Amino acid sequence: MANKKPLLNTVLLLVLLITFVAGCSSTKSVHENPDKNELVLAVHGESETGYDPTTGWGRYGSPLFHSTLLTRDNDLKVVNDLATNYEVSDDGRTWTVTIRNDAKFSDGKPVTAADVAYTYEMAAKSGSVVDLTVMESVKVLNDHTVVFALKNPQSTFENLLIATGIVPKHAHGKDYAQKPVGSGPYKLVQWDRGQQLIVEANPNYYATKPFFKKITFLFLDEDAAFAAAKAGKVDVAVVPPVLAKQKVPGMRLLAVDSVDNRGIMFPVVPSGHKDKDGYPVGNDVTADVAIRKAINIAINRNDLVNGVLEGFGTPAYTVCDNLPWWNPETVIKDADPEGAKKLLADAGWKDADGDGVLEKGNIEAKFTLLYPSSDQTRQSLALAVTDMVKPLGISINVVGKSWDEIKTMNHANAVLFGWGSHNPLEMYNLYSSKTRGIEHFNAGFYSNPVVDDYMDKALGTTNKDQALEYWKKAQWDGKTGVSAVGDAPWAWLVNLDHCYFIRDGLNTGKQRIEPHGHGWPITANIVEWRWNE
């Protein structure tokens, strides 16, 4: 099947795993001794570009090697990390942050305000996914105080203080992403690309010292990770929902709530255009709002959760379900295929030739839905949605491609994407007119001036409660919005539970609602992990 990696790759990964375990254990299992201070994890998360926060590492999960100015606790409340205090001016444009005086990098050098300023300057210049366009300047007031000046107020700037790990000015060279130095609870000691990554506890860490002195991350695909768990060779293994109901001797299942969603992005403009790189833009079928809305109301999201996710998830209606800025009026309570058929008929879609596919003028209701070919869950969701909308007279061709290929096609074809963040700025990135055609952001070229106005106001206010209301109105204000009851530029499908097999006796503490699965979100509270007594 197109979504599975070649068998040879899995075999090679298992050989690697066996070789690794043989090299670090005696004749007994490496996990028979509950006092061991080492862990082996198979939780994906290898970074293709390395581990440099100035280019985006750590924004979806625990940066692990790095500290951040602010962080979230297990209840997702914002608390201090490197910072001891921060103040925002009345106009919302000046943020003054004071940092602790006892923090050191893993090489023993102190963390100073100069390192903080350097980090944000480099991140702003990187042209990466770290969006610091709102920052006008960052200046060092003294060794432990830094001042950020913003071009205009931005209520979500706090999230950039949460997501950006601090790098050392003295050690941030061209090879930094491969050999990072940071002030987080662990330090990277070895990275074998495509195979494993080994970290050890940072002896200079200023906060709670981690119990485990060494952690090895094995980069195994889903089948190999499950096989490793069954063989008793790993302490934690991430598995897809389809495997989560299996029994693994000596391990328990941990299903963690997340805002890790899956949804279908639709091109909303007609065909005939090209982006700045010459790739096609637009799709004549999905440009019709009736097609998009009909698909949204015909989908049975509960069936997707139960059938594809084996019950490990919830229906999704927006990119931010159940977060503080979510508008519950966006919920589609029940699938309504008959209502979808009427909507299409009223919009002029008819099956004039009786072949089971609707037409409108010379346009047939056919389009391609892309998904990353390595992702079995996304393929299954795509095929299930295709079956659900076929009775409407809409024909979807499901095609698996690499991400490099999808990048050249995602402005002219529907794509089954995954998002999910603790930052409302993600909603802006997906729907703002200003982000049309930028990487995978707003790939469908959606634009609505009313929505733009709401989101600009949400960003610009210094009142957090007021910002929440603007974000909600951007989803649906009773007349328009980005949700399925509005313009329906997306069909959000499900929110995933993140499923892990955990070694019996391993206490992973209180798990927080996890963001999208890049990085290692389960390790966000790694300093709390220990063996049960």
* Structural domain boundaries in the chain: 1-46+185-256+498-533, 56-178, 261-496
Taking the model in full, what pTM does it have?
A: 0.81
Closest to 99 measured CA to CA, from 149, 161, 41 = 161
Tokens of 261: 């969603």
Task: List the CATH code of the domain at 1-46+185-256+498-533.
Answer: 3.40.190.10
pLDDT at 60: 66
> Could you tell me whether strands 498-503 and 490-496 are parallel, antiparallel, or unpaired per DSSP bridges?
unpaired
Contacts of 408 (CB under 8 A, 6+ apart): 277, 279
| Two domains, one topology: 1-46+185-256+498-533 and 56-178 | yes
What distances in angstroms separate CA 212 from CA 35, 63, 65, 81, 251, one per listed residue?
10, 17, 14, 21, 19
The rounded Cα 261 to chain-centroid distance in angstroms is 8
CA separation for the pair 278, 402 (Å, rounded): 19
CATH architecture for residues 261-496: Roll (3.10)
Phi, psi of 395 (to 5 degrees): -105, 120
CATH architecture for residues 56-178: 3-Layer(aba) Sandwich (3.40)
User: Following CA atoms 58, 61, 65, 71 in sequence, which dihedral angle do they give, to the nearest 10 degrees?
Assistant: 90
Mean pLDDT by runs of 10 across the 533 residues of the chain is 39 44 39 70 88 84 88 87 95 96 97 98 84 92 97 90 95 94 96 95 95 95 92 95 92 94 98 94 98 98 96 96 93 95 98 96 97 93 98 98 96 96 91 91 97 95 90 98 98 96 95 81 92 88
pLDDT at 226: 95
